[in-house]
Amino acid sequence: MPENILIVSNWKMNLDLNNAKRLINNLKKIKFSSNSKITNIVCPQFLLIPYISKLLSFSTIILGGQDCHLKKSGSFTGDSSIDLLKYYNCKYVILGHSERRSQYGETNLTVKKKSEIARANNINPIICVGESIDLRKKGKHLNFIINQLDECVEKNLKDIVVAYEPIWSIGSGVIPSFNEIREVKIESINFLKEVKKIRDIKILYGGSVDSKNINSIIKETGVDGALIGSASINSDEITKIITNVDFD
């Protein structure tokens, strides 16, 4: 088992105020073991953040954003700034999610710039990488992922959190084999250590994680936690995920 386990909820564009409040109240009721290693991070859509931030004062649940702009402020209609994430006490930000890459044309360079402004504001980026089914079938997934890391990640960082999310696993109910996850984890760590000179590296897995597969994913692959989409907006599921991992 890793020293710390990050459970990151990616609510995406889901939940209204009432459902978000209900879910947060249920998350707050979770009883942790005395030596719990879990860091519970919740990433709501932007307009929910001020409200959730209030609900989370005096809570151990940590708030995160699903994206940020690469500039501090300016004429960027529809975007949200890192300053506001910081103001509302966000400690993490998901960057380069495959939905941002495919639907908004986000490039590796954009992700790198967003990561730089997040770090400059003491917000930890969670850098998402992962291959399409096509690349996986052609056996080109490792090259693709290492290139993503190469172009998204700065050198000589003190620490980094990377989420390996194969695109074909997101929302599909299909997860890679443990060997496949382990392979990406090991290759990514080697690259980040040797080429990027980063010491403290956390690799999360994301894609169809639920309360049934979470424990074996963590145990069998040694990843440092999970980035969770659909199961994270289901109160019973996310409660089970956290308690299963905590008491395993």
Q: Residues in the site for ligand PGA, rule: CB under 6 A? A: 10, 165, 170-171, 206-209, 227-231
φ/ψ region of 3 (left if φ > 0, alpha if ψ in -120 to 50, else beta) reads alpha
Measuring CA to CA, which residue among 185, 179, 168, 180 is closest to residue 131? 168
165 is catalytic: yes
Determine which one of 99, 106, 131, 165 is catalytic. Answer: 165
Point out which residues pair with 103 in neighbouring strands: none
Residues comprising the chain, all counted? 248
Q: Which is nearer to ligand PGA, 36 or 234 (CB)?
A: 234
Determine which one of 97, 99, 106, 131 is catalytic. Answer: 97
Q: Which is nearer to ligand PGA, 71 or 230 (CB)?
A: 230
Q: Contact at 8 Å (CB) between 28 and 60?
A: no
Compute the least distance from the CB of residue 170 to ligand PGA, in Å: 4
Q: Which is nearer to ligand PGA, 105 or 139 (CB)?
A: 105
Q: Which is nearer to ligand PGA, 118 or 207 (CB)?
A: 207
Compute the least distance from the CB of residue 226 to ligand PGA, in Å: 8
Q: Contact at 8 Å (CB) between 228 and 205?
A: no
Residue at shortest CB range from ligand PGA: 229
Compute the least distance from the CB of residue 139 to ligand PGA, in Å: 23
Compute the least distance from the CB of residue 34 to ligand PGA, in Å: 29
CA distance between the termini of the chain: 10
Point out which residues pair with 7 in neighbouring strands: 40, 226
Q: Which is nearer to ligand PGA, 230 or 243 (CB)?
A: 230
Measuring CA to CA, which residue among 209, 203, 204 is closest to residue 229? 209
Task: Give the long-range contacts of residues 50-58, CB within 8 A, separation 24 or more.
Answer: 50/88, 51/17, 51/20, 51/21, 52/20, 52/24, 53/88, 53/89, 53/90, 55/21, 55/24, 55/25, 56/24, 56/89
Compute the least distance from the CB of residue 125 to ligand PGA, in Å: 15
237 is catalytic: no
Task: Report the catalytic residues.
Answer: 97, 165
